[in-house]
Amino acid sequence: MFNLGEYQTLIVDHFADAGAFLRESAGEETVLLPGRQVPEGTDVGSLLTVFLYKDSEDRLIATTGTPLLVRGGIALLSVKQTSPIGAFLDWGLAKDLFLPFKETKGELKPGQKVLVTLYVDKSRRLAATMRVDRLLRADSPYREGDRVTGTVYAVKEEIGAFVAVDNSYFGLIPRQELYERLRPGDPVSARVMRVRRDGKLDLSPRKKAYAQLKPDAEVIWEHLTAAGGILGVGDKSDAALIKTELSLSKNAFKRAAGHLLKEGRIRIYDDHIEAADYQP
């Protein structure tokens, strides 16, 4: 039986103008390996390891090329083009991989990278899906405090950003830890806040408070400088305004602003801050 979307080692049954026809050792059905891909020195009876997919005319075909994704795997692929029915992804083969609209998460644009897996649809064609959850694991080697990297595969505003850590393990950046806009396909570097009882990871893109203090202070200073020395957020400003203006929580803002104040670089008021040398 030929396994669509997988590698198989097959026997060369015979040759024709189009190329070599391959079969399983105990089978009679054959699949074409185009002539330009037949390795030099191949004879009838030779064993070849090939990948099986369907060509532009929906015919089963073999290739000695190396796709970026196989069934059962997860890969980060580039969007080549989009259409009302879905997107087409570059997966390293001549025929682009179709990602149906119903299998997408969020709006996609050409050039964007998306994390997908491969499946066989009802028409027995290979297609991609961004629903990679079922392939992610909850047995990561990471512990609280570890730094990890991964890829965002879904975002739900009421919950947070779902991350495939190492493109293999379940991770979540909770809504309260999101201080920048993320979309599927974005790479992230984060700290493990906790390992849940089910093994899934809660993440934060921010360092611990003491380690984040100086970077946050520099964020405020850069915004303050860009604004000409006065910034419309202060000690009594609403948390939502601070998050919008600086991508910081109110607590992080107050810690960082206090640090700048202690260094004598700013003055703090209820509704704004000023550079220490600011002159109206």
pLDDT tens digits, residue range 49-83? 999 999 888 889 999 999 999 999 999 999 999 99
pLDDT tens readout for residues 232-252: 888 888 888 888 888 777 777
Q: What is the pLDDT of residue 227?
A: 85
Contact call for residues 178 and 160 (beta carbons, < 8 A): yes
Task: Answer yes or no: is pLDDT of 31 > 90.
Answer: yes
* Phi, psi (deg, nearest 5) at residue 194: -160, 155
Top-tier CATH class for 137-204 = mainly beta
Contact call for residues 50 and 7 (beta carbons, < 8 A): yes
Concatenate the DSSP letters of all residues of 131-178 into one string.
--GGG-BS--S--TT-EEEEEEEEEETTTEEEEEETTTEEEEEEGGG-
Contact call for residues 113 and 204 (beta carbons, < 8 A): no
The answer to whether domain 74-133 has CATH 3.40.50.300 is no
Q: What is the pTM of this model?
A: 0.70
Q: Domain 209-275, what fold?
A: Arc Repressor Mutant, subunit A (1.10.10)
Tokens of 128: 């991609």
Q: What is the pLDDT of residue 141?
A: 95
C-alpha to C-alpha distance for 147 and 164, rounded to whole angstroms: 14
Tokens 């607590």 sit on residue: 251
pLDDT tens readout for residues 170-213: 999 998 888 778 889 999 999 999 999 999 999 988 755 555 66
The answer to whether domain 7-63 has CATH 3.40.710.10 is no
User: Which amino acid is located at 102 in the chain?
Assistant: K
Mean pLDDT value across the chain? 89
% of the chain at pLDDT higher than 70: 96
Contacts of 112 by beta carbon, 8 Å cutoff, 6+ apart: 78, 79, 183, 185
C-alpha to C-alpha distance for 262 and 173, rounded to whole angstroms: 32
Q: What are the residue ranges spanned by the domains of the chain?
A: 7-63, 74-133, 137-204, 209-275
User: Which amino acid is located at 141 in the chain?
Assistant: P
Comparing 74-133 with 137-204, is the CATH topology the same? Answer: yes
